[in-house]
């Protein structure tokens, strides 16, 4: 039951070339920054990432992108990452962009053991009809396009079939956790973390505050330890490293 691992490097040591990773976070909120850097340190390449987005330049999953470690990304948007956009448009990276709710449900279904599901999201678009550019060629033409998907009508409404997502590894960031793998997320930092945690064959959680088993209120646990295989306790410095994607301020006015 003791899933505590001494260091992030030890926790991700078996992440191999060509591995698929489900990664929690939304923008830079709730990202497993320490684990991402540890994966970078393994030297693993040709990685397939499943995440809401791919961080920003130099932050989050952007660290793996900039070093050329990523072969494919399944995400909902490019966001603020210029290198992500550059690699995609240059034909260096395969990208499957899907609706955000569909991504969430793919991960949830994978964690629940549901192989596929029907959803109305994407009906009447290239999501269902195929033809979305997954990879560009060097001359700007489409090298790989998305295939058409099965559609079916239920009660007079059309739906498109989506396959569930299960990854080799999942990386998540939690506010509190115990050595049994029970996790609690802090407010909006929950985002895609619980979904990613369930969708990994091996789920690795970095936690800001490690507590003894039995400390967490069972009604407050967001991810049960059955979904988590390894836990890494962050140092105070690592826990405090919470970058802000975009800061907006207004001028102070005199009272």
Backbone phi, psi, residue 139, to 5°? -90, 5
Q: Are 12 and 35 in contact (CB under 8 A)?
A: yes
Two tokens, residue 68: 């050329």
Counting as low any pLDDT under 50, the low residues of the chain are: none
Decide if 250 is inside a domain. no
CATH of the domain at 97: 3.40.1080.10
Half-sphere exposure of 48 (CA within 13 A, CB side): 12
Decide if 140 is inside a domain. no
Size (the chain), residues: 255
Decide if 212 is inside a domain. yes
| Contacts of 237 by beta carbon, 8 Å cutoff, 6+ apart | none
Half-sphere exposure of 178 (CA within 13 A, CB side): 17
How confident is the model at residue 148, as a pLDDT? 97
| Contacts of 235 by beta carbon, 8 Å cutoff, 6+ apart | none
Q: Is 9 helix (H, G, I), strand (E, B) or coil?
A: helix
How confident is the model at residue 255, as a pLDDT? 64
Query: What is the residue range of 78's domain?
Result: 1-115+164-240
Q: Please, what is the Cα angle at 245 between 244 and 249, to 5 degrees?
A: 70
Handedness of CA 14, 108, 183, 245 (dihedral sign): positive
Decide if 64 is inside a domain. yes
How far is Cα 243 from Cα 241, in angstroms, rounded to an integer? 6
Question: How many domains are there within the chain?
Answer: 1
Decide if 253 is inside a domain. no
């Amino acid at each position: 039951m003791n899933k505590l691992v001494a260091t992030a490097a030890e926790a991700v040591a078996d992440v191999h070339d060509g591995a698929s990773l489900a990664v929690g976070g939304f923008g830079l909120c709730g990202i497993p920054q320490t684990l991402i850097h540890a994966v970078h340190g393994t030297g693993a390449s040709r990685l397939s990432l499943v995440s809401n987005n791919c961080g920003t330049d130099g932050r989050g999953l952007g660290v793996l992108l900039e070093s050329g470690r990523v072969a494919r990304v399944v995400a909902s948007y490019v966001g603020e990452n210029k290198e992500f956009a550059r690699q995609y448009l240059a034909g260096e990276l395969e990208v499957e962009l899907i609706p955000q709710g569909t991504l969430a449900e793919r991960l949830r279904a994978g964690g629940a053991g549901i192989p596929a599901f029907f959803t109305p999201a994407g009906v009447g678009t290239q999501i269902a009809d195929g033809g979305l550019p997954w990879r560009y060629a060097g001359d700007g033409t489409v090298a790989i396009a998305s295939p058409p998907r099965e559609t079916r009508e239920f009660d007079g409404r059309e739906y498109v079939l989506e396959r569930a997502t299960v990854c080799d590894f999942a990386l998540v960031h939690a506010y509190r956790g115990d050595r049994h793998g029970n996790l609690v997320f802090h407010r909006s930092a929950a985002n895609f973390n619980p979904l990613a945690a369930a969708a990994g064959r091996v789920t690795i959680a970095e936690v800001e505050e490690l507590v003894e088993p039995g400390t967490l209120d069972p009604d407050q646990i967001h991810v049960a330890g059955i979904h988590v295989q390894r836990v890494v306790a962050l140092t105070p410095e690592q826990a405090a490293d919470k970058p802000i994607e975009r800061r907006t301020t207004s001028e102070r006015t005199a009272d």
